[in-house]
């Protein structure tokens, strides 16, 4: 992020961070002419956090991230239930490891800058 919280020209982990923020901010199928772009979490925003839901999220996110952000060098995604009932803890393991907790309200109001610090 730039000093004004705008997009800056960056490389390395900073560039990947920007791509992750965009990935989480775009609901799957929302982008015209490219329905494969976006994050599957938006499809689960009103679902209960069950073991089945978590497995589905892990599988879908692994595929999406490998296709959309190949520079992550993704090995796997681990999704677990967070302490609050409306949040999911994500561990994105690739060349670097990213630990995030994404809640329903983060996705609904696109408050993703708080998730990424």
Which class for 90: exposed (0-12), middle (13-18), buried (19 or more C-beta within 10 A)? buried
Q: Tell me which residue range forms the domain holding 23.
A: 13-115
Assigned domain for 3 exists: no
Question: What is the total count of domains within the chain?
Answer: 1
Give the model's pLDDT for residue 110. Answer: 58
Assigned domain for 37 exists: yes
Cα(110)–Cα(11) distance, integer angstroms = 24
Taking only Cα atoms into account, the Rg of the chain, rounded to an integer number of angstroms, comes to: 14
Assigned domain for 1 exists: no
Assigned domain for 59 exists: yes
Summarised one tens digit per residue, pLDDT across range 16-50 is 888 888 898 888 888 888 888 999 998 988 888 89
Assigned domain for 6 exists: no
Instruction: Give this prediction's pTM.
Output: 0.80
SS3 percent helix, strand, coil of the chain, rounded to 5, is 40, 20, 40
Of 48-52, 73-77, 109-113, the poorest mean pLDDT is in 109-113
Crossing angle of helices 13-25/51-68, nearest 10°? Answer: 130
């Amino acid at each position: 992020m730039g000093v004004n919280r705008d997009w800056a020209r960056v490389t390395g982990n900073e560039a990947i961070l920007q791509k992750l923020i965009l990935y989480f901010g775009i609901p799957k199928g929302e982008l015209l002419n490219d329905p494969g772009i976006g994050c599957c979490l938006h499809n689960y925003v009103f679902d209960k956090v069950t073991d089945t839901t978590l497995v589905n999220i892990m599988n879908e996110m692994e595929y999406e991230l490998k296709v959309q952000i190949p520079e992550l060098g993704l090995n796997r995604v681990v999704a677990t239930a967070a302490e609050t009932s409306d949040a999911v803890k994500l561990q994105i393991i690739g060349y670097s490891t990213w630990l995030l907790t994404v809640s329903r309200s983060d996705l609904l109001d696109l408050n993703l800058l708080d998730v990424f610090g």
